[in-house]
Amino acid sequence: MRLKPITIGNITTENNVFLAPLAGYTNYPFRRLCKGYGAGLCYTEMVSAKGLKYGSENTKELLYTEENEGLCAAQVFGNEPDTLRAACEHEAFAPFPIVDINMGCPVPKIYKNGEGSALLENPILAEQIVRECVKSGKIITVKFRIGITDDKLITAEFAKRMEGAGASLITVHGRTKDKIYAGDVNFAEIEAAKRAVQVPVIANGGVFSNADAERLMRETGADGVMVARAALFNPQIFCELTGVPTESKLEMFRKQLKWTGQVCDERFTTVFMRKMAAFYVKGQKGAAAFKEKLFQAQNPEEVWAIAQQIWQE
């Protein structure tokens, strides 16, 4: 795909291929891995504004980063403008110059709380949230879906509202809330958002290859693409999209295991890297047997030993 820098407020990214915020996965070691493979901007896992307000240690842990990560955006969710602004101003957000407001999460618990994609049904509140968060001094962006259902598509109007409230970039997931992550991406709705605003528009949905990314850019006119689930199965998709050299799957796994172990405890490292290895082995001959072995591993050393069996060089 055609690479270009994206200017977000007063910051310019290296390119227009972004890693989506993925709950449970886009921690610092994984973001570092994807950044090394060419991702122009990575997002933290979605964090709760209320969690920060009430001092949740788990919420703070989701925002762990190190100086060597470089540019990274934090994503936050909530539905109270003052609480979201306070989150932007919280010390845990200090390393992140860009804060993305989640207005697309389809998870029932989030939606029923009036957060995530529920804000698509309350555009006035959504505007108030963006305006308030802009006052924090952070660069504010918004990620949202094209609507709740196909008979209630709101993309262009919602995009204009977010830009008018002060958002410096919008990301449009081209599916409705009820589709979750299934079904075709609605290119026309993303294109409508692009025509409606002057700020950069990032297209999200269905990118599993360079051909997918090129089609998404061509059909929507978007300024860039955001990669989500494909990165879980193959972080080196960013190499394909940006031209960064690839390396062996074993070396990729070794680095991620090492970096995770450096910042997380042994139990988390073991469980997390078992899950990642299960993603990476998908489609490989003997995958089921390897997964059975993986989920019996009790420590990072055992996980690494099995990984070496899976990806023998």
List the catalytic residues.
105
H/E stretch holding 173 reads strand 169-173
Q: Is 109 helix (H, G, I), strand (E, B) or coil?
A: helix
Cβ count within 10 A of residue 161: 19
Whole-angstrom CA distances from 102 to 38, 114, 117, 171, 175 are: 24, 12, 8, 10, 15
> Tokens 């955006």 appear where?
73
What's the chain's length in residues?
Answer: 313
Q: Which residues of 244-254 are buried (b: 16+ CB within 10 A; e: fewer)?
A: eeeeebbebbb
* CA distance linking residue 131 with residue 104, whole number of Å: 18
H/E stretch holding 230 reads helix 229-233
**For the residues of 41-55, what is the DSSP string, one character each?**
EEEEEEEEHHHHHTT
* CA distance linking residue 118 with residue 33, whole number of Å: 32
From the list 180, 246, 249, 187, the residue with the least C-alpha distance to 212 is 187
The number of C-alpha atoms within 13 Å of 174 and in the hemisphere containing its C-beta is 27
